[in-house]
Structure 1
Amino acid sequence: MLKETTTKRVRLLVSCKDRAGIVSAISTFLYNHGANIVQSDQYSTDPIGGMFFMRIEFDLPPKKSSFEKLKEEFIEIAENFYLDWKMSLANQKKKMAIFVSKEDHCLMELLWKWKAGELNVDIPLVISNHTNNQQAVEAYGIPYHYIPVTKDTKQQSEQKAINLIKEANIDFSVLARYMQILSPTFVQAFPHQIINIHHSFLPAFIGANPYAKAFERGVKLIGATAHYVTNDLDEGPIIEQDVLRANHRYSTEQLRVAGRNVERITLARAVQWHINDQVIVYGNKTVVFS
């Protein structure tokens, strides 16, 4: 086994019932292993009986403790404080799958950012129930898998997608305007590993034709919501929301254009935060560290 010769940047996410001594125990543990904390954020819902959340980035020097050994020895701390935790190397790229249907604005935003080096991920595959975006995706050198979906073939189509995700060791998937409702079987196979963008400011205008509904209501704000997918349609833990202003002069089509702009920005931001291990899911909510 080759010895580590360079400093490793590590991220640690922690959630647990709040109690005295958590920060001290973790800080002391890292100090004893020669780690240098470069960023630390914490949040408590209530100091007495509430939940505690923490995100730490630290540098692990070579020739002190290997990353795997550090994780193994941290188990004792985790057990003492009943921690839910995740420790990962910052430079270890996650593998992201993208699902898309016909509309390409969210897909292209992710691909542009990935190509520019702004999204530190690998994209082993794109899956779609249409062929509209195949040429654009393959131009980036990314395999495009066309899996048509009908009422009669939905189960088989989802199983094909599940098999592709598992074969490619995908860490998380992004529904970049994928216009199919995923079955409970699919969702349960990848808990908190599927990010969706909804074309409204949830919980408003759920369902079909949101911009027509928004036009009828004379909305002054057009929004988008990025969230983790659960079995409850469009009700999973929200990662990010954003809005753009509108006015009475906006037509339904102008509202749709504004909506596409805010969708792509909101989704890309949520994906970035997920990649950077800035999100902790708790119940049906999220804690997002800046």
Structure 2
Amino acid sequence: MKPLHLVPDEVNIPFLKLRNFFYIFSVSLVVLSAVLFFTKGLNFGIDFRGGILVEAKTSGPADIPGLRDNLGSLGLGDVSIQQFGEPDDVLIQLQRQDGDEKAQMAALETVTKALGDEVSIRRSELVGPKVGGELKEAGIYSVVISLALIMIYIWLRFEWQFAVASVVALLHDVIITVGLFVISGVQFDLATLAAILTVAGYSINDTVVVFDRIREFMRKFRKMDLVELLDLSINTTLSRTVMTSLTTLLALIALFLFGGEAIRGFTFALIFGIVIGTYSSICVASPLLVVLKLRRKIPEGEEASAEEAGVL
């Protein structure tokens, strides 16, 4: 039985010839995402903006529309109701009320009465604005520190040009993913932040695979033109990249469709992040090595051509 090949072994797509188009496309997306972030902003969840979180269990399968209408009529502002776990498990989130902690407790009591005896409260939390602000700050630090450590790792493993290209590609992925959340209005919470960090790890894994092949070919084809070598490296890893991304996406799409509202934002970020991460590994990180003028030491002697080595 022959192995499945979504990409033919002899594929030879001239990615580097399109690098100017990729640069313009990526810069446009990054600028648009940044402008939207600073003008419209993210739809922060209770984790970041503060509010009331209630975990409840209904006597039967939860009537989400009915609960939403019931609690929405209480005049407590934005109310988010999600089913998670079992059909009778419900997660209720309310925006922070004006006033001190007493106002929050009064709102929680109002919700409890409105739910009635058929709904049991399993857990309730009050998240203050100070805690939300601290979580925002911690989230920013986690992203910055992660990118810095990744850059150091790539720098030690490869040359500095590889490190800079990988971090630029990661920033590209993170900013555009955040921009998607601004455009879509999907709630941004700690789970979403975790998804973005996961996307960064997935993206750098793809990028390192391509970089390893570039370094391998730099040793094998020591006088090959850099643009030709980069194209060759991308094409020879393309089948692996596409297969890995596709199988990951199949699992994530299943989670998005059937996993419930509680993890929808998380899977939404991962799905888009996998797509944009795969794109950046191929179309952003590697072409940037040309801009950064990656240089090679050319020792004496001629290397075999790509055809002779059996690569093409």
Higher helix share: 2
TM-score w.r.t. length of structure 1: 0.32
TM-score w.r.t. length of structure 2: 0.30
Higher strand share: 1
- Larger Cα-atom Rg: 2
